[in-house]
């Protein structure tokens, strides 16, 4: 089926990006100095957000459907398996599969109803869904309420991730680094999938919906079905990120703060900062915002401030507004344009 | 529950009439500019906190404090439009939504630096209560209903008899046409933001003695008002009032069952109604 259509890019061009990224991540622990475990922590968190933002970019950037509620699905991915384990004593692997499938089913139900809405209505509905789930997990008794769930098992990959260090070809790799590699392996897989999708006929249909939904419909594209598919796919990616957060990054201790109202906004911000129309922009957006968060916290604690969240929100808000006003296509395309302009001016 | 029915209904109408004002303030901005302002709730908070701060900490007389609070909200609303939204002219609706979200975050954190993170309250304008069924409703709360009604009446008069109001309606009707008639769409949009923010500020001042107000309460207020506007149907002021009242009443009845899940269940109902009647409950 797919072979009938010409690819717009040769294969090597599609995969060179993910490969470079994989190499960069592999090299990261060797380059990183200083507070090592702290940097690993940061690297893992970046990877988790990049997975969500990757899906959200497909939905918002390519299909043009806004979602202000993806933190909700991120929460489902973390909490469904956690509840299955803590309340129903499922084994970890079954709970994780159950969590991802459960999120897929829930997002299918929600998506197939609310994606009939458009624009402002869709924005409100998705925001409402995000708040409902986020508030729900912080209030329900079965999810531990505001105290969260503790002592959940961790993903061990057949014991690989529990060892303090592993030797590969004579190189020692510590546990934290292995966890980082594991998360970023998932990230690379997600990005390969997304890049593949975008360059396929299906991806072109998505962009057609963004351009003009009625025109796409008239070309024989089942726009509604496609929108629901992308919505579910992006929710599944968010759920995978949730699983990685709960069972690798947070080491089995799950708190509802991670999935609050601000997370919904932060995810959208990552998409916007990177540039709404590019997968690589979403990688950049996820990494930039996560690193910035840590930098602000570091500067704040060095300056003796106890709570940096308010100043952080201020900085994020100003950044988001400036980017949208000055360069609505995102930070990366904006910088690209600015540099080409400077080069043009120089050569004159 | 029977004997409390009247009480819940009365409380619902009280809170609902405030939501109705916020819904109207969304509508004023939306019909003139086509922008859904997610920062609307922050105007509620700014109006309320300015008034409370002036009255409680600065000991300014109540009427002056209220005027100053509403005026501040209007000025902030105007500034938001001029600084944040006018420069982005011609952006897609999604971009506008995200810009207003950014503005909302900025205003919220600025407010936390100006007024701190503690909740503020205002004294009730009138003391005492009225028995309804087995419970009692504050006289102050009941005062909210006629005040909100009066604001709506003023709004009607404004849109019918003043030049600015007529200009705004012309823009809502047809921007090109308005421009051809020599109406400045830019000025009308700026005016709609000032007016919308002022209305939201009035809502904030009225709700503060009942529920208290803090820097991060704006978002939820905004969502409730927005829900009211969407339930009633954007562009339909009467619908906005009915929608706002409905959100208030629904919320109060949910409170009877569980106050902790009030916001969640109210939002669930909003989403369901949105799916059943996407153009608002008054639509055919």
Domain residue spans of chain B: 2-276
Strand-strand pairing, B129-132 and A165-168: unpaired
Contact B94 A139 (CB under 8 A): no
The number of domains in chain A is 1
> Hey, are the CB atoms on B274 and A64 less than 8 Å from each other?
no
Query: Which residues on chain B are in Cβ contact (under 8 Å) with A114?
Result: 271, 274-275
Q: Check residue A2 and give its pLDDT.
A: 45
B119-138 mean pLDDT: 81
Q: What is the mean pLDDT of each run of 10 residues along chain A (348 residues)?
A: 54 73 75 69 90 91 88 94 90 92 95 87 90 90 81 74 68 76 90 86 81 83 89 95 90 84 89 81 88 87 79 89 82 78 82
pLDDT of A10 reads 67
Overall average pLDDT of the B42-62 stretch: 93
Determine the residue of chain B that is closest to A271 in CA distance.
B98
CA distance B168 to B254: 38
C-beta of residue B223 within 8 angstroms of C-beta of residue B267 = yes
Quick check: is A327 in a domain?
Answer: no
Interface confidence (ipTM) of the complex = 0.85
Q: How many angstroms separate the CA atoms of B10 and B138, rounded?
A: 10
Q: Is residue A305 part of a domain?
A: no
The DSSP string of B215-252 is TT-HHHHHHHHHHHHHHH-TT-HHHHHHHHHHHHHHHH
CB contact under 8 A, B102 and A321: yes
Which one is the CATH code of B2-276: 3.40.630, 1.10.3470, 2.60.40, 2.40.10?
Answer: 1.10.3470
* B85-94 CB burial, b ≥16 within 10 A, e <16: beebeebeeb
B251 CB neighbours in chain A (<8 A) are none
Q: What is the 3-state secondary structure (H, E, C) of chain A?
A: CHHHCCCCCCHHHHHHHHHHHHHHHHHHHHHCCCCHHHHHHHHHHHHHHHHHHHHHHHHHHHCCCCCCCHHHHHHHHHHHHHHHHHHHCCCHHHHHHHHHHHHHHHHHHHHHHHCCCCHHHHHHHHHHHHHHHHHHHHHCCCCCHHHCECCCCCCCCCCHHHCCEEEECCEEEEHHHHHHHHHHHHHHHHHHHHHHHHHCHHHHHHHHHHHCHHHHHHCCCCHHHHHHHHHHHHHHHHHHHHHHHHHHHCCCCECHHHHCHHHHHHHHHHHHHHCCCCHHHHHHHHHHHHHHHHHHHHHHHHCCCCCCHHHHHHHHHHHHHHHHHHCCCCHHHHHHHHHHHHHHHHHC
Choose among A186, A191, A176: nearest CA to A274. A191
Contact B222, B41 (CB under 8 A): yes
Residue B1: is its pLDDT beyond 80?
A: no
CB atoms within 10 A of CB A342: 10
Distance of alpha carbon A73 from alpha carbon A235, whole angstroms: 6
- Is the Cβ–Cβ distance between A49 and A259 less than 8 Å? no
Task: Say whether A324 and B275 touch across the interface (CB within 8 A).
Answer: no
Q: Name the 3-class secondary structure at B132.
A: strand
Residues of B near A (Cβ–Cβ under 8 Å) read 36, 38, 84, 87-88, 91-95, 97-99, 101-106, 108-110, 112-113, 117, 219, 223, 226-227, 230, 234, 260-261, 263-264, 267-268, 270-271, 274-275, 278
- Identify the weakest region by mean pLDDT among B2-16, B70-84, B168-182, B195-209: B2-16
Q: Which residue of A has its CA nearest to B280?
A: A121
The answer to whether B173 and B42 are in contact (CB under 8 A) is no
Give pLDDT, residue A83. 92
Q: Which of A121, A132, A310 sits opposite B109 (nearest CB)?
A: A310
Spatial CA neighbour of B261 closest among B251, B270, B248, B247: B251
pTM of the model: 0.87
Partner residue opposite B271 with nearest CB, options A64, A128, A313: A128
Q: How far apart are CA B40 and CA B204, in angstroms?
A: 11
Residue pair B212/B119 in contact (Cβ under 8 Å)? The answer is yes
> What is the pLDDT at residue A164?
67
* Contact by Cβ (8 Å): B26, B37: yes
A91 interfaces chain B, CB cutoff of 8 Å: no
Residue of chain A with shortest Cα separation from B102: A317
Q: What CATH number does the domain containing A23 carry?
A: 1.10.3470
pLDDT of residue A312: 87
Contact A78, A259 (CB under 8 A): yes
Q: Half-sphere exposure of residue A231, counting CA atoms within 13 Å on the CB side? A: 26
Query: What confidence tens digit (pLDDT) does each residue in B26-47 have?
Result: 999 998 988 889 999 999 999 9
Nearest CA in chain B to A273: B98
How large is the angle between the packed helices A36-57 and A11-31, nearest 10 degrees? 160
Pairing label, strands A171-174, A165-168: antiparallel
Distance from C-alpha of B214 to C-alpha of B211, rounded to nearest angstrom: 10
What percentage of residues in chain B have a pLDDT greater than 70? 99
Tell me the per-residue pLDDT of B94-125, one tens digit each, with 9 for 90 and over. Answer: 888 889 999 999 999 999 999 988 898 888 87
Is residue A87 domain-resident?
Answer: yes
Q: Which helix (H) or strand (E) holds B109?
A: helix B93-115
Cβ separation B94–A313 shorter than 8 A:
no
Does residue A277 sit within a domain?
A: no
pLDDT of B79 above 90: yes
Residue A142 belongs to domain spanning: 2-259
Please check whether residue A274 is in contact with residue A330, taking contact to mean a CB–CB distance below 8 angstroms.
yes
Mean pLDDT (chain B, rounded): 88
- A310 within a domain of the structure (yes/no): no
């Amino acid at each position: 089926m797919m072979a009938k259509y010409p690819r717009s890019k040769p294969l090597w061009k599609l995969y060179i990006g993910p490969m470079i990224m994989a190499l960069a991540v592999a090299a990261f622990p060797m380059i990183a100095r200083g507070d090592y475990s702290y940097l690993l922590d940061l690297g893992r968190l970046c990877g988790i957000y990049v997975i969500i933002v990757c899906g959200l970019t497909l939905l918002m950037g390519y299909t043009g459907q806004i979602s202000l509620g993806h933190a909700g699905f991120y929460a489902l991915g973390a909490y469904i398996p956690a509840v299955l384990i803590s309340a129903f004593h499922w084994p970890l692997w079954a709970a994780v599969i159950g969590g991802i499938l459960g999120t897929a089913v829930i997002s299918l139900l929600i998506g197939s109803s609310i994606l009939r809405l458009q624009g402002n209505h869709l924005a409100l509905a998705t925001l409402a869904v995000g708040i409902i789930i986020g508030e729900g997990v912080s209030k329900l008794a079965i999810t531990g309420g505001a105290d969260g769930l503790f002592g959940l098992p961790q993903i061990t990959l057949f014991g690989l991730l529990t060892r303090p260090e592993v030797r590969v070809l004579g190189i020692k790799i510590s546990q934290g680094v292995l966890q980082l590699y594991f998360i970023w392996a998932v990230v690379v897989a997600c990005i390969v999938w997304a890049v593949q999708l975008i360059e396929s006929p299906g991806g072109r249909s998505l962009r057609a919906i963004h351009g003009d939904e009625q025109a796409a419909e008239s070309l024989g594209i089942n726009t509604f079905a496609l929108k629901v598919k992308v919505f579910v796919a992006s929710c599944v990616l968010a759920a995978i990120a949730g699983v990685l957060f709960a069972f690798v990054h947070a080491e089995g201790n799950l708190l509802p703060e991670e999935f609050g109202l601000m997370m919904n906004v932060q995810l959208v911000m990552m998409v916007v900062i990177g540039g709404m129309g590019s997968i690589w922009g979403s990688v950049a957006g996820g990494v930039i915002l996560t690193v910035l968060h840590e930098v602000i916290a570091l500067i704040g604690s060095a300056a003796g401030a106890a709570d940096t969240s308010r100043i952080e929100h201020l900085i994020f808000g100003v950044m988001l507004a400036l980017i949208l006003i000055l360069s609505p296509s995102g930070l990366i395309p904006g910088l690209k344009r600015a540099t080409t302009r400077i080069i043009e001016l120089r050569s004159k | 529950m029977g004997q409390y029915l009247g009480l819940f209904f009365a409380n619902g109408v009280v809170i609902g009439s405030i939501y109705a004002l916020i819904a109207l303030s969304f509508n004023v901005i939306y019909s003139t500019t086509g922008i859904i302002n997610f920062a609307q709730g922050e105007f509620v908070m700014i109006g309320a906190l300015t008034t409370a701060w002036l009255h409680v900490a600065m000991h300014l007389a109540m009427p002056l404090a209220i005027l100053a609070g509403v005026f501040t909200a209007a000025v902030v609303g105007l500034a938001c439009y001029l600084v944040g939204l006018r420069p982005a002219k011609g952006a897609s609706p999604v971009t506008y939504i995200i810009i207003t979200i950014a503005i909302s975050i900025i205003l919220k954190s600025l407010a936390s630096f100006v007024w701190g993170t503690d909740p503020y309250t205002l004294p009730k304008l009138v003391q005492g209560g009225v028995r309804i069924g087995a419970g009692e409703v504050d006289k102050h709360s009941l005062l909210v209903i006629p005040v909100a009604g009066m604001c709506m009446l003023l709004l009607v008069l404004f849109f019918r008899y003043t030049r600015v109001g007529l200009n705004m309606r012309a823009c809502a009707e047809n921007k090109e046409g308005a421009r051809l008639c020599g109406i400045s769409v830019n000025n009308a949009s700026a005016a709609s933001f000032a007016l919308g923010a002022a209305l939201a500020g009035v809502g904030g001042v009225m709700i503060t003695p009942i529920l208290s107000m803090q820097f991060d309460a704006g978002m939820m207020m905004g969502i409730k008002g927005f829900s009211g506007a969407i339930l009633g149907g954007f562009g339909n002021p009467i619908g906005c009032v009915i929608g706002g009242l409905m959100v208030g009443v629904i919320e109060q009845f949910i409170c009877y069952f569980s106050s902790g899940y009030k916001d969640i269940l109210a939002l669930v109902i909003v989403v369901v109604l949105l799916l059943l009647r996407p153009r608002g409950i008054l639509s055919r």
